[in-house]
Amino acid sequence: MNAVLGVADHNGWAVCVTVAASRGVPVVVDRRRVELVEPGIPSQPYHHETLRMPPAEGERLVARVRTSVLQTTFERLKELRDELQPLYTMVGMTLRVPPLAFVPVTVAQAHQSYNVTCRADGMMYHDALSIAARRLKIDVEQHERGEELARAAGRLDASVEDLEQFLQRSGETVGRPWQKEHRLAAAAAIGVLATRARIQLA
């Protein structure tokens, strides 16, 4: 069965909710928190550590963090995909639109504006997730933060209220934690799944 992964990414970790279709109804088949960087490695170097470092030292730290983030993110995403196989085939992943249009090339570039400094770390994780998905041949769709419910409801030809009630029931089935970000990640995944399978809310 085809499955879609909904991701709500943060600096250093992400909420991941995987949804598949069962008899024409979306169902949550996996829900977990995923670490995107190794323990002991700074999770927000642009916004914290490099502000007090000489440029060369800052560049070395960011290079080390990026390497860790790329490797760890790929390993965790591959691990999730492999655990779901062979019952589920992960065909898609949905991410929020990235906080920046680019990953800063240098620390100096990241520090040129407060806006970029605050968002450069988030961009690093978003980029790592996108790269990992491409390596695993998983299609990526982006959505604006806050549009998950309306987008999925529209693709299901359902109301937002009906979708919210469905997600509430799903949370009662999968158990805690089932917070707002879990519900939104699930909604985003359902929206993508609706483009690949004929599904409707129970």
Please tell me the predicted confidence (pLDDT) of residue 163.
97
Which two three-digit tokens encode residue 132? 């990992």
Beta bridge partners of 142: 95
Q: Which residue has the tokens 């987008």?
A: 151
Residue 202 pLDDT: 76
pLDDT in the model for residue 102: 87
Instruction: Give pLDDT tens digits for 163-187.
Output: 999 999 999 999 999 999 999 999 9
**So what's the pLDDT on residue 90?**
96
**CA distances for 120 relative to 67, 111, 112, 157, 182, angstroms:** 15, 9, 11, 37, 24
The separation between CA 35 and the C-alpha centre of its own chain, rounded to angstroms, equals 11
| Architecture in CATH of 2-193 | 2-Layer Sandwich (3.30)
**What length does the chain have?**
202
Could you say which residues of the chain have pLDDT below 50?
none
Domain boundaries, the chain: 2-193
Q: Residues 150-164: pLDDT tens digits? A: 999 999 999 999 999
Cα Rg, the chain, nearest whole Å: 18
- φ, ψ at 139 (rounded to 5°): -65, 145
